[in-house]
Structures are given as structure tokens and as C-alpha cells.
């Protein structure tokens, strides 16, 4: 597990707008207490599915995105079963 935080630079695509609207509504405190209140995403570093990582979106405030990268297989299984996309 690791936390990633940084400025969100999104494109003017409909999927990006939906993502932003969904992330803005999250309360970080609530997601830390109950991760199922967040939503899951897959991150790709460079190209190819071998570089795909699961993550939990915690919050988006003032274009600052906070996510938790999920690394262990048990945690990934829990994430997939309990947290919406």
C-alpha cells in the first residue's frame, strides 16, 4: 500500500468529467474510516497491462487528488468485492 497525491490534470473528455464529479463528492475522512465509500480505479504506468495497479480514490480537493495504491493480493480481492468502480 502507498498513498499518491498530486495535481489532477484531466482532459475535457466526458469520462474525465464524470471522474472529477465523483471524486469531488468524496470526504477523505469517511473513506479512510470506510474504504467502501470511495471508488476504485486502475492505474497504468507507461503502457501495457503488466504495469496496471489497483487504487482507491480517497478525495479530490482543489484539483489535488489523493489515492491509495493497493498492492497485496488479499487487499486487491477485498477492493474488487467491496468498493465500487
DSSP type of residue 47 = S
Instruction: Provide the 3-class DSSP secondary structure of residue 78.
Output: helix
> Mean pLDDT for each 10-residue chunk of the chain (85 residues)?
88 89 97 97 75 93 95 96 96
- pLDDT in the model for residue 22: 96
- pLDDT in the model for residue 9: 86
Amino acid at each position: 500500500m502507498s498513498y499518491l497525491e498530486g495535481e489532477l490534470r484531466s482532459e475535457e473528455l466526458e469520462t474525465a468529467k464524470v471522474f472529477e464529479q465523483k471524486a469531488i463528492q468524496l470526504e477523505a475522512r469517511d473513506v479512510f474510516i470506510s474504504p467502501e465509500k470511495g471508488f476504485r480505479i486502475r492505474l497504468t504506468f507507461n503502457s501495457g497491462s503488466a504495469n496496471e495497479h489497483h487504487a482507491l480514490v480517497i478525495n479530490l480537493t482543489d484539483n489535488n487528488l489523493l489515492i491509495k495504491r493497493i498492492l497485496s493480493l488479499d487487499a486487491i480481492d477485498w477492493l474488487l468485492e467491496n468498493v465500487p468502480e
